[in-house]
Every structure is written in structure tokens, then in C-alpha cells.
Amino acid sequence: MLLAMALAAGCAGSVARDQSATPAAATAAPAFEPAPVPAVRYGRYTLVELAPTAAQWDLLSQVVEVSVPDTLHASVGDALRHLLQRSGYRLCDGADSETLLGLPLPAAHYRLGPMLLRDALLTLAGSPWRLQVDEPQRQVCFARADAEPSEAPLSGDGRHE
């Protein structure tokens, strides 16, 4: 009986905490609040963020998977045009690019992806070629890597700045 009373009393007791022991810096530090992302309810259980994806901001970041139509005489130019069909970009006309576009398409390049559009373009062209992108015109050009760069500065990934 004495044991039961001691246990009951132990549960009912409270411990007084010293409020002065709390560090002042911990209470004064502002809490981190992330910026709210606008969202809308889409269906019964789904919230959708109202922001464009990275691939919608940077079209060369879109993920592509492409199968070039199987022909005996497909060229790199055919594959590049097929790859760019719904990308928002087009090939530019240039004498330097004509050499690349006329090359035969290697068998390994008939199926590409999934990969980023930028990587697929670089894969089809190969290392002897430098990718140049004219964003305002949405044109994709290729120049020989050993040639002098054009007058427009290029960023590290081959895009005009």
C-alpha cells in the first residue's frame, strides 16, 4: 500500500524549471521561414505548385528520348532536325555546320536518351564540334572546336551570354 501511494505521488508531482537557465540567444534568434510557394488544389488530394519547371525556364534542360527513323542513309543533320522538332529550337544555316550535317549517322546514335537536350546535341555532334546557341532566335549552331570562337562570348556550356 505504501508503495502504491509513493508511485501515485511520484506521478502527480511537478518539477519547477528555472527560466533564467534558458540562453538568451536561443530565444532572440528569428525562426527561418521559407518563402511561400504559390500552389493550387488540383483534384481532391493534390496541390500543384504554380511555378515553371527548370526545363520550362531553360529549354536545353528538357529531358529527351529520341529514336531516329531507321533509314540506310541517315545523316547527323537528319538526327539533329529530328531531335529539335518539338524542342523550340531550330538548326541555323552556316557553311561551317554543313560539314557536320552531312556526316553519316553512327548506329549508336539512332536511339538516344533519356538525357538532357543539351547533352543529346553534344552527343550527336561529337567532341570536334562546339555547340553555339542563339537564345533570342532559338537557333542551334555548331562550329569546329579548333576554329576561333565567334565574336559573341560563349558561356561554359556553349550558349551565348
For the stretch 86-121, pLDDT in tens is 999 999 988 888 999 999 999 999 999 999 999 999
More confident residue, 46 or 8: 46
For the stretch 42-56, pLDDT in tens is 999 999 888 888 899
Residue 102 lies in a domain: yes
pLDDT > 90: what percent of the chain? 54
53-60 contact pairs (CB < 8 A, 24+)? 59/87, 59/88, 59/89, 59/117, 59/138, 60/89, 60/116, 60/117, 60/118, 60/121, 60/133, 60/157, 60/159
Residue 137 lies in a domain: yes
Residue 71 lies in a domain: yes
Residue 34 lies in a domain: no
Q: Domain total for the chain?
A: 1
Residue 4 lies in a domain: no
More confident residue, 84 or 9: 84
Residue 46 lies in a domain: no
CA-to-CA dists, residue 79 to 46, 69, 73, angstroms: 39, 9, 11
Distance between alpha carbon 109 and the CA centroid of its chain, in Å? 23
For the stretch 41-95, pLDDT in tens is 999 999 988 888 889 999 999 999 999 998 889 999 999 999 999 999 999 988 8
> Could you tell me if 21 and 120 are in contact, meaning their C-beta atoms sit under 8 angstroms apart?
no
> Could you tell me if 102 and 142 are in contact, meaning their C-beta atoms sit under 8 angstroms apart?
no
Q: At 60, which CATH number?
A: 3.55.50
Domain that holds residue 135: 54-144
Residue 75 lies in a domain: yes
For cell 532572440, what's the residue?
28
Q: What is the SS3 assignment for 141?
A: strand
pTM (2 d.p.): 0.67
More confident residue, 132 or 54: 132
